[in-house]
Amino acid sequence: MTLCKLPKFDIGGSIHIITNNQVGFTTNPIDGRSFDHSSDIVKSFGIPVIRVNAADGKTTPETLIRVCKFMISYWKTFKKDILIDMIGCRKHGHNEVDEPGFTQPEMYEQIRSMKPLSE
């Protein structure tokens, strides 16, 4: 992305996707990164960011398809980068021996009360 503004390196934009599953849940966000969102780094390049809450119980696969179609349309029309920051979670923690409820009890109380996407 850092070379995207230089004519000899311009490829007509790219579509970037972040699947943000909040892996750093054992660290409070303010202590674990320099930005509020993992996608904030692209702000200095003027790249539009679409944030989607993939775990709110209302966002469906069809919603994500519509967002992706919009991104493709933007990219084809303007020949510029665009980024989707799909914010979700790991329902069962980082790995099989981890218990995220110990370090982030409020967050994981909410996560565990969510209905599965299939419902």
Around Cβ 98, how many Cβ atoms within 10 Å? 14
Q: How far is the C-alpha of 37 from the C-alpha of 51, rounded, in Å?
A: 10
Determine the straight-line distance between the first and last CA of the chain, rounded to whole angstroms.
Answer: 39
pLDDT, mean over the chain = 79
pLDDT tens profile 63-104: 888 999 999 999 999 999 999 998 877 776 666 677 777 777
With a cut of 60, say whether residue 24 has pLDDT above it. no
Q: Which residue has the tokens 């982030």?
A: 104
